[in-house]
Structure 1
Amino acid sequence: MLRTVNRLLTGLAGALLVALGAAVLIGALDLPRRWGFELPSAWPFAGPDDVLLPGTDLRRWRARGWWWPVVIAALAVVVLLSAWWLAAQARRGRLREVVVHSGGGEVASVRGRALEEVMEAEAEELPGVERAAVALSGRRTAPRARIVLTLGARGAPGVALARLCEEVLRHARMSAGLTRLPAEVRLRAVRHRAERVG
């Protein structure tokens, strides 16, 4: 849901900025006169001397009692929506805590970073794995794992993936009392710098 909202907001903001930039450039560079074409009558900038609100219009709007409250309210809404969107971006990064079910009706929570560190340490002990990075996301009652395994020169991807599922993910699922722990796993090869021989 948040990814869809991000894409929609980014697309709308990009389209508005491109349209506004094109309108300003066409007017500022005086392209209608240079290239010999006509602009629609509602076009805001027809020449390099045009402004969005001429002085007479600006004075007329300022004379009305509702002008400044509407401008301030509109800007406040833009600021609040921007702050909400920024907070949503910061929240979605990592899961702060995971709810642990003991099975007897008792519920506790463990820090998400602590569970990530345990999974990373266990994954790095697998044969052929040089480094592991784990990030938990989702809800605290239904976490998802994003795992990046960096394989050494002798690491076998199939073996590393099978052992990761059978051991690391199963242990994490059992220790947190989760019925399932979906994971997205990315495998990378370690890059060694070439050394000159001879």
Structure 2
Amino acid sequence: MLRTVNRVLLGLAGLVLVCGGGAVLAAGTGLAVPSWWPWRGKGDVLLSVADRNRWRGEGWWWPTVIAVLAVVVVLALWWLLAQARRARLAEVLVDSGDGEGALLRGRALEGAVAAEAGALEGVAHAQVALTGRRSAPRARIALLMEPHAAPDEVLGRFTDETLAHARDSAGLAELPAEVRLRAVGHRAERVS
């Protein structure tokens, strides 16, 4: 949900910036712009001399504008870095017994857990994502269950078998997991 909202807001912000920048560029180059647009020609400016001088006598005005713009820039950079960071774990550190350790690709472990979970009776589909640090991974699992499946049995078998196999094969002391169960959409069965 948050990912969808993030993408919609990013798309709207991009659309507003492209449309606004294009309209200012069109007015600046002398192209035809709508009658309601505030800047119509090459000589128009964003802030007129009167607008710029209106607050010049107030000592708080320009420091406030600069501080607000600095906060906006810092927030925009923080948001950009938050978008660029990876949500998934790229590799897991496996204790190989020689003191060096080995690296296991996160996608490989995710695929193995998803395949084994998908083979469980009552599971239609499984998705796995590893997060956290490479020395202390965490798993987020989404299990799509068949209509006839019992959630407690599926969760018990997943925890006792699939998650235990993943933890043991990676040599991890623990592998905390968040499991979300959903049922496959299906039509109601008729009772005769």
- Normalised to the residue count of structure 2, the TM-score between the two structures is 0.60
1:181 matches 2:170: no
Structure 2 counterpart of 1:111, from 105, 116, 126: 105
CA distance in 1, matches of 2:165, 2:124: 20
Tell me what 1:4 maps to. Answer: none
Structure 1's unaligned 5+ residue stretches are: 1-52
Tell me what 2:40 maps to. Answer: none
| Offset, 1:155 | 1.3
| Offset, 1:134 | 0.8
CA distance in 2, matches of 1:114, 1:69: 53
- Normalised to the residue count of structure 1, the TM-score between the two structures is 0.59
Structure 2 counterpart of 1:126, from 120, 124, 142: 120
| Offset, 1:154 | 2.2
Conserved in 2, the CA contact under 8 Å of 1:128 and 1:155? yes
CA distance in 2, matches of 1:106, 1:75: 48
CA distance in 1, matches of 2:104, 2:78: 27
Residues 80/167 of structure 1: CA separation in 2 closer, same or farther (3 Å cut): same
Residues 192/98 of structure 1: CA separation in 2 closer, same or farther (3 Å cut): same
1:155 matches 2:149: yes
CA distance in 1, matches of 2:179, 2:98: 32
Q: Give the partner amino acid of 1:112.
A: G
Q: Give the partner amino acid of 1:99.
A: L
Structure 1 counterpart of 2:163, from 142, 147, 169: 169
Please tell me the root mean square deviation across aligned C-alpha atoms, in Å: 3.4
Q: Give the partner amino acid of 1:123.
A: A
- After TM superposition, what 4+ stretches of structure 1 lie above 6 angstroms from structure 2? 67-74
Matched-pair identity in %:
64
CA distance in 2, matches of 1:179, 1:61: 64
| Offset, 1:122 | 0.5
Q: Give the partner amino acid of 2:182.
A: R
Q: Deviations over 1:101-121 (max 9, x none)?
A: 123313121221221111100
Matched length: 142
Map 1:138-149 onto structure 2 (within 5 A).
138-149=132-143
CA distance in 2, matches of 1:157, 1:178: 26
CA distance in 2, matches of 1:161, 1:91: 31
